[in-house]
A and B are shown apart, each in its own frame.
Chain A
Amino acid sequence: MGTTFGLGELGFLIQGLKWTVLLAAIAFVGGGIGGLGVALARVSTSKCLRRITGGYIALFQGTPLLMQLFVIYYGLGLLGLMLPAWVAVAIAFTLHASAFLGEIWRGAIEALPKGQFEAARALGLHYLPRMRDVILPQALRIALPATIGFLVQLIKGTSLAAIVGFIELARAGQIVSNQTYAPLLVFTVVGALYFALCWPLSLYGSRIEGRIARATAR
């Protein structure tokens, strides 16, 4: 069949890129909500909650993302849930992101000076306003560079959905490469597309990091 790499093939890759962005966005938003819960549970007063979420984080940080995808993908099937592949994959990435973002944000919350917690309590703020108005805004600002760093990891991680057959950018690249017999060109373009997506984020992340470092050095 050997076609050459033309506009049609490039269009197919762009379609794949759209799925990559969508998958990363769903996982980041879902993981943001889940991660917030995990982070709050990690710093809560309940020992039981801390243990469970600690185990959850250790599990997701100690196993390959690829295995998490496989186990959740096939596991959901075993539970009798007939989900479309992309939903199963999105659930897997969301659970993955929840663990990592939870750990990043836990670190940021614990990095805040104790006085912030005590002052908020002394002002009579209850748990919800204390967290929402005092602790989290400060913690999330400290955690911004690491959060952006993880977002880049997540975007790159979505390429693994290719292995379970989901057609995103990396899988689209594989397909086009097999059709055109031009892997050098195709994977260069695929790499360039990922780079174009991730590099601005990385630059933005390190710029904020520098700004925070200068602000704390002063």
Chain B
Amino acid sequence: MGYTLDFSVVIDALPSLLWGCLATIGLALSGMSLALVIGVAGVVARGSNQRWLRGLVIGFVELIRNTPFLVQIFFLFFALPHIGLTLNPTVTAILALGLNGGAYAIEIIRGGVQSIDKGQIEAGLALGLHKGQVFRMIVLKPALRAIYPSLTGQFIMLTLTSSICSAIAAYELTSVAQRIESDTFRSFEVYFTITGLYLAISWLMMTGFSVFSRRYFNYPTR
């Protein structure tokens, strides 16, 4: 067989691959931020006494968690223009990642909020804090600490999921790689290299998350 591996094309393309890495990290961080907002808002809405609002959140979570991300992003990108909403690929990608991550975040954060002792909330109210403060300081922060490992794990999954955004040609690492591949036909070398880059990105994020947790959640529990 006459195929020899040739990584020189990949080395030549290294600068654009590194830009692709930054784009992926940027896309992932934007998606995560949106997911966190949707997650917190969803948990608040899930606990409201309006039945339709609770139903809406439950329906959203089930819908997102039981359909593939690829179909979700196709729906946003190809179907929404037909009802008059056209978004560029990168905005669509952030929206899709945010909605997808948000649905998982709602379930994770809800689990954390439920783990907060009711007495804590009553104590907070008795001390004269108003509802917003109680939610932010007594419910949200300790709950975030409790769910931090699963939430960040989900966020790293979201980063890996962002590779699927190449299917709508959003600018990120996989789509950069696909362009290099179609120029050079070195499919294996290109994808092998960016698999390594993704591994580096997820390790970097894991380290970042654990550094952040040591600083932000560094207070005594009892």
Contact = CB atoms under 8 A, between A and B. Distances in A.
Chain A complexes with chain B: yes
B96 to A, nearest CB: 13
B161 interface: yes
Contacts, number: 114
B83 interface: yes
Interface string B143-176: 0000000000000100011111011000000100
Interface string A3-14: 000000000000
Given A183-B78, A183-B79, A64 B198 contact: yes
Q: Is the interface of B mostly helix, strand, loop or mixed?
A: helix
A114 B109 CA distance: 32
Contacts of B82: 182-184
Contact of A71 (B1, B67, B166, B195): B195
B13 interface: no
Contact of B67 (A63, A184, A191): A191
B70 A187 contact: no
A65 B198 CA distance: 11
A152 B166 CA distance: 23
Given A198-B66, A198-B67, A74 B198 contact: no
A66 B1 contact: no
Range class of the B interface residue count? 35 or more
A159 B70 contact: yes
A117 interface: no
B63 interface: yes
Range class of the A interface residue count? 35 or more
Nearest to B80: A184
Contacts of B199: 59, 62-63
B209 interface: no
A156 B202 contact: no
Given A62-B199, A184-B83, A202-B65, A74 B187 contact: yes
Interface string A21-45: 0000000000000000000000000
Interface of B: 1, 3, 5, 62-63, 65-72, 74-75, 78-79, 82-83, 156, 160-164, 166-167, 174, 187-188, 191-192, 194-195, 198-199, 202-203
8 smallest beta-carbon distances between A and B, as pairs? A159-B68, A198-B66, A183-B78, A64-B163, A156-B68, A70-B191, A184-B79, A64-B160
